[in-house]
Structure 1
Amino acid sequence: MYAMRRGLRVRGLTLIELLLFVVVVGIALSAMLKVFVTATAASADPMIRRQQLAIAESLLREVMLMPFTWCDPNDPNVETATGTGDCSSVEVSGPEAGQTRYNAANPFNNVNDYAGFSMSGIRDITNTAVAGLGGYGASVAVAAAALDSIGAGGEALKITVTVTAPGGDVISLQGWRTRFAPTAAD
């Protein structure tokens, strides 16, 4: 009988081989799942970054399209003024009394009016909240800046738009606006 058993080849796995197989497969699967979880968690980041960029570009474009004049745009001398001495009401940094981005009767009407502007939750020009962007914030800084040889006499402004995402990530865009003397209302 012993000879018969010895001559037969037993097929199958031992308990130790089976346990080693389960451990190796378990380790491989956990590593693969970790990669999938990381990839899935990071897949939302590009969308958030694109939304931040779209908000910043839109707000920067809005500011850059405003006139940059010596006088307040409502001043009768706005088109001909070559300096603040030609104005009856000089344009200052920041909004004038009662002016807001959303006030149809007294809206921002100059690049300088946006200095210090900020919003928590993105709103359009009519003060309507933009769906899905409530967790974002945006701010605008406007400062006199030299732009190569331009800027010695307040002829150039650096506009910085900063957008904060719900997770705290920040993106900033900058643009420069120059004054076209005697008129900058174009």
Structure 2
Amino acid sequence: MSSEARRQGGFTLVEMIVAIVIIGVGLAGVLVAFNTTTRGSGDGLVRRQLLGIAEGLMEEVLSRPYAAVAGGGSANCERSAFNDLDDYNGYATTGRICSIDGSEIGNLAGYSVSISVQAASLAGVAQAKRIVITASAGAETLSLSGWRTGYAAP
């Protein structure tokens, strides 16, 4: 018989502790990266909502007649009585967004919007108005500009 000592297989306690530390450090790095990614994941949503608000209002404003129409204007958040471009000048809400009938859109609480309609010259066209819609939520602000010209029908 052989008197050689047979070496047993397996891990020592020191090897196990080193493996646990290495796996723990790697897992912590992955979790830090995951946390950073998820913390900022909603940022794009706010920007898309601001763009949707501004585009929706721009479509509404551009659908109104260029020339002033008698009447118009409105109190508070309602815009259903606005009947020409100039009625939208100075319209603003703070901390809320409303539909055209004045009812607040609950999911957009904390958002604000302002509209400016100013006469301006556009490439030699005398009858032109520049429309600027600014939507904001917290520190995020988005401005959308558009133009509308007055023209005589043929």
User: Which bin holds the TM-score, normalised by the shorter protein?
Assistant: 0.7 to 0.9
Rounded Cα–Cα distance in structure 1 between residues aligned with 2:45 and 2:10: 52
**Where do 4+ consecutive residues of structure 1 move more than 4 Å?**
none
One-letter amino acid of the structure 2 residue matched with residue 102 of structure 1: E
Partner SS for 1:126: coil
Partner of 1:35: 33
Once the 2 structures are TM-superposed, how far is the Cα of residue 58 of structure 1 from its aligned partner? 0.7
Provide TM-score, normalisation by structure 2. 0.83
Partner of 1:159: 131
Alignment RMSD: 2.6
Which runs of no fewer than 5 residues in structure 2 stay unpaired? Answer: none
User: Relative to structure 1, is the Cα distance of residues 41 and 61 closer, same or farther in structure 2, using a 3 angstrom cutoff?
Assistant: same
Partner of 1:143: 118
One-letter amino acid of the structure 1 residue matched with residue 143 of structure 2: S
Q: Which one of 135, 145, 150 corresponds to residue 174 of structure 1? A: 145
% identity of equivalent residues? 34
How many residue pairs match? The answer is: 151
User: Residue by residue, what CA displacement relative to the aligned partner does 1:136-163 show, whole Å, maximum 9, x if unpaired?
Assistant: 111112222332222xx3x111111111
User: Residue by residue, what CA displacement relative to the aligned partner does 1:92-133 show, whole Å, maximum 9, x if unpaired?
Assistant: xxx86xx446276xx222212212211120111111011211
Greater RCO (Cα-Cα under 8 Å, separation 6 or more): 1
Provide TM-score, normalisation by structure 1. 0.70
Give the conservation status (yes or no) of the 8 Å contact 2:78–2:98.
Answer: no
Whether 2:83 is the aligned partner of 1:109: answer yes
Rounded Cα–Cα distance in structure 2 between residues aligned with 1:127 and 1:119: 11
Query: Mean Cα displacement is larger for which, 173-182 or 20-29?
Result: 173-182
